[in-house]
Amino acid sequence: MTPTSAPAPHSFLDAYRAGALGDAFELKAGDLEAARSTTRSVDRTRLADVLRSGHAKWGLRPAQDRALRRLAHPESRVVVTGQQVGWLLGPTYTLSKAATAVRLAAELDEPDRPVVPVFWMATQDHDVAEMDHAWVLGRDERLHQLRVSMPDGPAVGRAQLSAGVLAVVADQLRAIDACGGHGGPHAADVAAWLEEAAAVPGAVRPRWSDVFARLMTSLLGDQGLLVLDPLDPEVAALTRDRIEHELQAPEASADRIRAAGHRLEALGWAPQLGRAEGATNLFAEAPGGGPRELLRVDGDGFRKGEQRMTMGDLRAWLDADPTALTPAAGLRPIVQDALLPTVAFVVGPGELRYLAQLRGVYDLHQVPMPLAWPRASATVLQPPVRRILERFDLDWRTVQLDPQRVRYELALGRHGHADAFAAALATVEREATTLLERVDGIDPTLQRTVRKGRMHLEQTVLNLRDKAAHALARQDDELQAQFRRLEAHLRPNGGLQERVLSPFTFFLTLGVAPVRDAFLALPPTGDHAIVF
């Protein structure tokens, strides 16, 4: 496999890297030295002990055991990333994030200043619709949605898998892999791997998040990746001081988020986070279970749905269950970085945008804002895709950006018409330039008329070119068939591959270990293709 890289188009990420977002971030993009020198007041020994007990049920690996011992070092740091606990690991960028954290931690690690990677499972989230399914591309190059049932309302980390669901999903994976053929060499191994992940010690019905953690541990535990579940009561107990701090001034962080949003708007960027009047940055979920709802300020107290609550009520809930109050998106990173000695936070494009509104919340809690590190992006080019790209001499980036435009351009070239339209446009440009030179000596005010006419003629030629390309592409059956295949791989459901397809797509066709190793071989930044 061969990794290749390409610069991203102008975006919020580009603005971040260029330092064009004002004072939204405490540290400049890429400033690892400043990030490493930031003091982090964390009880590392207690943190390591708590994480060790959580890993017991996920299958603690020797490398994770070493990572926990190194985390307890007084000068330790972590590179943290995280994601929702999507079914079958969610979209492929989950793996990209984790691999980025592993690679970056390895680059920063020193004997007297150890750096370990941590994956924060977003088990407190309750957005079931984003997590209860996975898209897998079959050998027939058709998309298959694998969905599991889970309750809507409570935090997803509380959900248990119904009896027999793993066997059904394993059978579905085997069937998907066998589409259009007799099945690949990896289907049985992948199905067995999933079933083994669901064999959580002591659990008749495993929690969904435990299966996710066991899969992640199996994939990257040997690289020392630690997995953290904020719904673990022992972990939640370590974050209670941040929750209590937020309750003391429940609208202050929302005010700062709105103010940061206004500053971004002034720079030309739409804010990612919004907070209505009276909304806090906390969710509440009754001890023992129930719907997770946003906590709102109501007079001198609070309201959860229709339920009125006092400060005393909320503290009683925390005493009974430290996971009863959980942070919203505008507080979650602050809770994370108060708990962990974070040197860098590996984020995706959406997370980077909401982090740009949180510096004031970090200041409010007196938690140093860590370095935001944009994750590496990866597109997997399997052999069928690679062969099509090579046959037509196409660049994967261009196809992924606008497959229809590439198909039209290719159709014009394949049928011998591209040169004719290029020549027509060149003629318009040449003749217009000649006319401009002539009218300049006659009456310079006529230049506007010539330029307007040139624009009209150019647009006419371009419109005709597009219509001709569309007709040619529609008539070219072979081209249509090949681009359907490219779009299935590179633009599934019209989205980017890494944002739609589960990595199980690639595990089935290429094997778990080769795919994992390919992601770990990528640099911890930039956009890449993994070519098999």
pLDDT at residue 101 tops 70: yes
What pLDDT shows up at residue 132?
A: 86
What pLDDT shows up at residue 256?
A: 96
Strand order in the sheet with 371-374: 226-228, 115-121, 77-83, 342-347, 371-374
What pLDDT shows up at residue 505?
A: 95
Task: Give the end of a domain, one of 209, 232, 261.
Answer: 209
* pLDDT-above-70 percentage for the chain: 96
pLDDT tens digits along 399-409:
999 999 899 88
The neighbour count for residue 20, using CB atoms within 10 Å, is 13
What pLDDT shows up at residue 203?
A: 77
Nearest to 368 by CA among 70, 19, 36: 36
* pLDDT-above-90 percentage for the chain: 67
What pLDDT shows up at residue 2?
A: 47
pLDDT at residue 183 tops 70: no
What pLDDT shows up at residue 181?
A: 55
What pLDDT shows up at residue 3?
A: 46
Same domain, 110 and 138: no
Average pLDDT along the chain: 90
Count the residues in the chain: 532
Same domain, 284 and 370: yes
Same domain, 204 and 224: no
Rounded-to-integer distance, Cα 296 and Cα 283, Å: 9
Section 161-183 average pLDDT: 75
CA 439 to each of CA 120, 323, 431: distance values in angstroms, whole numbers, following the listed order: 68, 78, 12
What pLDDT shows up at residue 182?
A: 52
Section 160-183 average pLDDT: 75
Rounded-to-integer distance, Cα 177 and Cα 271, Å: 42
| 76 vs 192: which has the higher pLDDT | 76
Same domain, 431 and 455: yes
What pLDDT shows up at residue 149?
A: 81
pLDDT tens digits along 413-430:
887 776 777 777 678 778
pLDDT tens digits along 185-212:
788 889 889 989 988 888 778 888 999 9
pLDDT tens digits along 317-375:
999 999 999 999 999 999 999 999 999 999 999 999 999 999 999 999 999 999 999 99
Which helix (H) or strand (E) element contains residue 527?
strand 527-531
3-class DSSP assignment, residue 118: strand
Name the domain count of the chain: 3
pLDDT band at 281; cut points 50, 70, 90: very high
- Assess contact for 89 and 95: CB atoms under 8 A: yes
Same domain, 287 and 233: yes
**CA trace torsion 503, 504, 507, 509 (10° rounding):** -110
Residue 120, strand partner residues:
82, 228
pLDDT band at 469; cut points 50, 70, 90: low
pLDDT at residue 514 tops 70: yes
Task: Give the end of a domain, one of 181, 209, 237.
Answer: 209
Same domain, 127 and 13: yes
pLDDT tens digits along 41-56:
999 999 999 999 889 9
Tokens 């691999």, located at residue: 99
pLDDT band at 316; cut points 50, 70, 90: very high
pLDDT at residue 9 tops 50: no
Amino acid residing at 234: E
Amino acid residing at 40: R
pLDDT at residue 397 tops 60: yes
Say which residues have a Cβ less than 8 Å from residue 60's Cβ, sequence separation at least 6: 52, 217, 221
What pLDDT shows up at residue 22?
A: 93
Same domain, 102 and 230: yes
pLDDT tens digits along 479-492:
889 999 999 999 99
Same domain, 17 and 121: yes
- Assess contact for 524 and 104: CB atoms under 8 A: yes
Residue 382, strand partner residues:
none
Same domain, 245 and 367: yes
Rounded-to-integer distance, Cα 19 and Cα 12, Å: 11
Rounded-to-integer distance, Cα 89 and Cα 146, Å: 12
- Assess contact for 489 and 460: CB atoms under 8 A: no
- Residue 13 sits in a domain whose CATH number is 3.40.50.620
Amino acid residing at 362: Y
pLDDT tens digits along 522-531:
999 999 999 9
Same domain, 229 and 200: no
Report which DSSP code applies to 109: -
What pLDDT shows up at residue 209?
A: 92
Task: Give the end of a domain, one of 151, 181, 209.
Answer: 209
Same domain, 257 and 374: yes
Same domain, 248 and 301: yes
pLDDT band at 383; cut points 50, 70, 90: very high
Question: For residue 181, what are the domain limits?
Answer: 134-209
What pLDDT shows up at residue 242?
A: 96
